[in-house]
Amino acid sequence: MIIMFKIIFMGTADFGAPALEKLADNKENKVMIVTQPDRPQGRGRKILPNPIKKVALYKGLGVFQPEDINAEESLKRLEEFNPDIILVIAYGQILSHRVLNIPKIGCINIHGSLLPKYRGAAPINRAIINGEKETGITYMFMNEKVDAGDIIFQKKLDILPDETCGELYYRLSTLSAETLPILFEKIKSGKIDRFTQDIKLVTLARKMNKAEGKIDWSDKGEKVYNLIRGITPYPGALTYLKSKKLKITKVRLLNDDQDKVYAVSFEPGRVVKIEKESISIFTGDKGIIKILKLIPAGSKELTAEQFVNGYKIKAGDILG
């Protein structure tokens, strides 16, 4: 017997795109798409559809784009659809009590952390910045507090060596789509587990800002390494060479058992070695960051070798 669900999918960022594609390809369900209004994007500030709208249109699905999801007109539209589930992934608006009570089964959110750790807007960034070795996704019932609802289930994922936020973001987004069938099997069986979050274990993941992108080379090597990975691609890891702005995009931390680098001065930010595939920089604890890729201001991303060949940088220079 085929069980059909009426699902409202709410999302805006590309994090939810794989899950929407999975949902749209499952013809058993009837799906309504809700996303934010089109906004100016890019340097040209052109009005363009967001990633969720692009997927919806490609899949032939209608799109509802209210300025305020909690307005009376929006509520009426949602109620008329009479959903079993509202599935929320990186939507960008806070849902009111009235919206949360519309679906028969509930509003379910997919969050990019192992709750109750990293509640908030930047869980993937903060997990890497804090040196976590694993993270994952959490399916939870929503309530009026941000990321505080009962957990349905979680899937863990190891954070890979040298992995950036952008790379981990993609893997977690894919995992969200791959695990959707687990949710629907639970719903079909009528046995949806609910686990209350332990308030004592809550940590917060506040939104990233551009000021956090400036590298302080006097910090410990591991801290610098985690920061660069955690803020790539946004807000971006910034440093300067002779007043020229550089955005560091790929690094490796030199371990104690790897080849040593010696210098007369251990000044943080000093270029101590230039190799074919990397530029080695001292940090505050004499740890060494190997820059593998970077973007000079006004240029495209370059490998370390391309940068060394095209720009005047040498051992002894200082980044700051």
pLDDT in tens, 185-206: 998 888 898 999 999 999 999 9
What is the model's pLDDT at position 256? 57
Give φ, ψ of 144 to 5 degrees. Answer: -80, -5
What's the pLDDT at 196? Answer: 97
**Which own/partner contact pairs does 222-225 have at CB distance under 8 Å and 24+ positions apart?**
222/131, 222/253, 222/287, 223/283, 224/283, 224/287, 224/289, 225/251, 225/252, 225/253, 225/287, 225/289
Residues 6+ apart with CB under 8 A from 26: none
Residues 97-123: b if buried by 16+ CB within 10 A, e if exposed: eebbebbeebbbbbbbbbbbbbbebbb
SS3 track for 77-104: HHHHHCCCEEEEECCCCCCCHHHHCCCC
Contact between 232 and 294 under an 8 Å Cβ cutoff? The reply is no
CA–CA separation, 21 and 57 (whole Å): 11
CB 267 within 8 A of CB 318: yes
- Please give the mean pLDDT across all residues of the chain: 93
User: In terms of Cα–Cα distance, which of 297, 296, 266, 255 is closest to 162?
Assistant: 255
Q: What is the pLDDT of residues 21-54, one digit of tens each?
A: 999 998 888 999 999 998 877 666 788 889 999 9
Question: What does the pLDDT average to over 162-178?
Answer: 98
Rounded to an integer, what is the distance from CA 288 to the centroid of its chain? 27
Q: Is the pLDDT of residue 235 over 80?
A: yes
Q: Which residues contact 51 (CB under 8 A, 6 or more apart)?
A: 12, 13, 14, 16, 17
Calpha distance 176→90 (Å, rounded)? 12
pTM for this model (two decimals): 0.93
The residue assigned the tokens 């977690």 is 172
Q: What is the predicted pLDDT for the residue at 1?
A: 39
**Rounded to the nearest 5°, which phi and psi values hold at 73?**
-65, -40
DSSP 131-159: T-SEEEEEEEE--SSTT-SPEEEEEEEEP
Per-residue pLDDT band at 259 (split at 50, 70, 90): low
The H-or-E segment that residue 6 falls in is strand 6-11
Task: Domains for the chain: give ranges and CATH numbers.
Answer: 6-201 (3.40.50.170), 210-310 (3.10.25.10)
Distance CA 117, CA 205 (A): 8
Spacing of C-alpha 14 from chain mean position:
10
Residue positions counted in the chain: 320
Given a cut of 70, whether residue 285 has pLDDT beyond it is: yes
Contact at 8 Å (CB) between 71 and 81? Answer: no
